[in-house]
């Protein structure tokens, strides 16, 4: 039986690769996609994803989410402007993507939409969180255990364990947690079972020259493969590692990664270490993180999906 999956995304380039992979997979039934503020404004992100889904011929319910982080102090935090611009304009897909978007965006409040999707799943819903955790935290704040008790698990791309972050200048945090640290804190402290794909894990799957050389010689077998190839070949160090793609591959093939034991964490919300993930000792936790990855299998899956 296919697992029921809800994708929460900030609609960046690597997110689109991950979503495309999940659409092509036979292991998941995507019940909806919510967009969150990060690389792209949620409304623009929903429209961009709608265009891509129209190109694929794959209708999926899309709901734009929260436009600002929960913490007012975090509202000046943002990705580098050039990264936002390229993802917002879909500049890397312009040669192949039509302007049209057949369909409509859901107009429900994001917390109600996510809750409804969760209840309808009957307790079997997995959430793939590929951006800041604002939408998920907002749903937790409103519905509490009525929501958290019905989620099977959340697999999150975010945080660091032992490596440096990617937010300059201090590199104390990873961007998804840095952009809304209060939301990240709410989610990792919740009673939901969480599989965390941190920067540590993604550094095991860099975008290598050998892979790009292989992909450059390939002729995609589908529109999905064409989109994935186009993004990878037009990457200008926007994603030096396969961040969200690793989440997708672990969802498709759970044996792709090995995990730590379940631990408790919190996220620092202010100061120079804002967004940094910290272990909470002597406390019951529901978070486990990826400790190792089958890199050869990962790269093979990328090539095969194209």
CATH of the domain at 261: 3.90.245.10
Work out whether the CA dihedral 138, 117, 112, 24 comes out positive or negative. Answer: positive
% residues pLDDT > 70 (the chain): 98
What is the span of the domain harbouring residue 142? 3-305
Partners of residue 277 on adjacent β-strands: 267
Question: For residue range 59-94, what is the model confidence (pLDDT) as tens digits?
Answer: 999 999 999 999 877 777 888 888 888 889 888 887
Question: For residue range 293-303, what is the model confidence (pLDDT) as tens digits?
Answer: 999 999 999 99
- What domain count does the chain have? 1
User: Between the CA of residue 176 and those of 109, 230, 291, what are the distances in Å?
Assistant: 22, 24, 19
Q: pTM to 2 decimals?
A: 0.95
- How far is residue 142's CA from residue 134's CA, in Å, rounded to a whole number? 12
- How far is residue 27's CA from residue 252's CA, in Å, rounded to a whole number? 6
Say whether pLDDT at 99 is over 80.
no
**E strand map for the chain:** 3-9, 28-35, 62-64, 125-129, 151-157, 194-197, 257-259, 265-267, 277-279, 287-293
């Amino acid at each position: 039986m296919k697992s029921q999956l809800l994708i929460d995304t900030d609609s960046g380039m690597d997110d689109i690769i991950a979503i495309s992979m999940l659409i092509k997979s036979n292991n998941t039934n995507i019940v909806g996609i919510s967009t969150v503020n990060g690389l792209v404004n949620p409304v623009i992100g929903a429209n961009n994803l709608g265009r891509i889904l129209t190109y694929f011929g794959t209708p999926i319910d899309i709901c734009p989410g929260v436009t600002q982080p929960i913490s007012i102090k975090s509202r000046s935090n943002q990705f580098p402007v050039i990264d936002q611009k390229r993802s917002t304009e879909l500049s890397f897909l312009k040669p192949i993507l039509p302007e049209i978007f057949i369909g409509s965006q859901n107009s429900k409040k994001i917390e109600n939409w996510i809750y409804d999707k969760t209840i309808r799943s009957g307790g079997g819903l997995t959430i793939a969180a590929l951006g800041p955790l604002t939408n998920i935290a907002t749903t937790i704040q409103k519905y509490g255990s009525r929501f958290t008790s019905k989620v099977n698990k959340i697999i999150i791309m975010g945080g660091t364990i032992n490596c440096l972050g990617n937010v300059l200048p201090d590199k104390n945090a990873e961007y998804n947690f840095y952009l809304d640290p209060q939301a990240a804190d709410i989610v990792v402290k919740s009673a939901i079972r969480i599989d965390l794909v941190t920067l540590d894990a993604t550094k095991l799957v860099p975008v290598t020259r050998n892979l790009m050389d292989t992909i450059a010689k390939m002729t995609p077998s589908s529109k999905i493969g064409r989109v994935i190839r186009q993004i990878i070949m037009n990457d200008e160090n926007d994603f030096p590692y396969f961040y969200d793609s690793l989440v997708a591959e672990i969802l498709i093939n759970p044996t792709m990664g090995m995990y730590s034991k379940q631990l408790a964490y919190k996220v620092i919300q202010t100061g120079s270490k804002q967004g940094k993930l910290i272990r909470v000792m002597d406390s019951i936790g529901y978070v486990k993180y990826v400790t190792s990855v089958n890199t050869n299998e990962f790269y093979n899956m990328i090539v095969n999906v194209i």
